[in-house]
Amino acid sequence: MGYGSWDDSAYDAARTFRAARGIDDFGYTADMASVPWDKWKAHPELDPKGVAMRECRDSDDHGNSLPIAVLFDVTGSMGLVPRIMQEKLGKLHGLLQRKGYAEDPQILFGGIGDADTDRVPLQVGQFESDNRMDEQLRLILLEGGGGGQKSESYELAAYFIARHTATDAWDKRGQKGYLFIVGDELNKPRLASKHIRKVIGDRVNQDISVESVYRELTDRWHVHYILPNQSSYYNDPEIGEHWQRLLGERFLRLDDPAAVCELIALTIGIGEDRVDLGAGLADLRDIGSGTAADAVGRALAPVGAVRRPRSTGALPAPGADDDDVDFAK
């Protein structure tokens, strides 16, 4: 993957074509609506079961690839937020390049559900540099489930990104990628080994502490959690406290979910030292995103707090037999 270039005009034309013919932007979700729920499954291109690696590699077209992963909660508590985000996320690549925030961005999209209750608790696409990323978005199943216990399987998605991605940015340049999880609930209390075996297929025989999963993940990724408004738990203080303990300033509260594309782009631009916050907000206003700029400014206002120390803690190797080890220690 990673060949070709993003084309805003082609993206707009495709959306116009679908709208004129009444074709759902989430076409795979529309297809599954005619199938009994117990037969629902991830689209083969997004099914994580048995995937060795999702790779972000340099190419002749893109010699300095920057991996960006955006995984969003597709359970019922998120309401219409995934559809609001889909409308904007498809243009993320264009915004990154227009303003020079990333030289060769490659973007992976995915969906997160509840491994305790959902048929499709995890969906992970490929890293793409062109309009195929919009096609990947359209294949995400908006299951709309969840278990109603104020937690989803974010830690399972974190494990997949930590253990099943390979990037030239890290392997060649020691450069971290960017992961954005968009949701409104807590992680599960532990990453259950049965979920890893069932959903991803790794032969892991003990549960893993959530803290150790994210410590492993942050060795190679800048990890952010975005809590968007119009979701069920936006104003729940427990959610913010939970994610701030894990990620510190990388927990971002967004009061306008339609500004998610701009928030991600500017966060990357700042992280890559391509722009500062003030100049970035001015950039957004220059392209006519004044409302988005205001929301992004509020979301990024806490940035500058004390950063959490980087850890080199590791996840257990597949096949380890220790009983419920706390790998955060």
DSSP 159-207: HHHHHSEEEHHHHHH---EEEEEE-SSBPPSEE-HHHIIIII-----S-
At 304 the pLDDT is: 43
Phi, psi of 107 (to 5 degrees): -115, 135
What is the biggest distance separating any 2 CA atoms in the chain, rounded to whole angstroms?
57
pLDDT in tens, 231-257: 889 999 999 999 999 999 999 999 999
Give the start-to-end residue ranges of the domains of the chain.
8-300
Given the structure tokens 């893993």, which residue do they identify? 208
Q: Which residues pair with 55 in a beta bridge?
A: 166
Do 224 and 252 contact (CB within 8 A), yes or no? yes
How far is CA 248 from each of CA 157, 173, 304, 310, rounded to the nearest angstrom? 19, 26, 10, 12
Dihedral sign, CA of 157, 99, 6, 177? negative
User: What distance in Å separates the CA atoms of residue 27 and residue 43, rounded to the nearest whole number?
Assistant: 11
Considering only the top CATH level, what class is 8-300? alpha beta
pTM to 2 decimals? 0.88
Q: What is the pLDDT of residue 4?
A: 66
Q: Which residues of the chain have pLDDT under 50?
A: 304-314, 319-329
Report the pLDDT value the prediction gives residue 134, as an integer from 0 to 100: 78
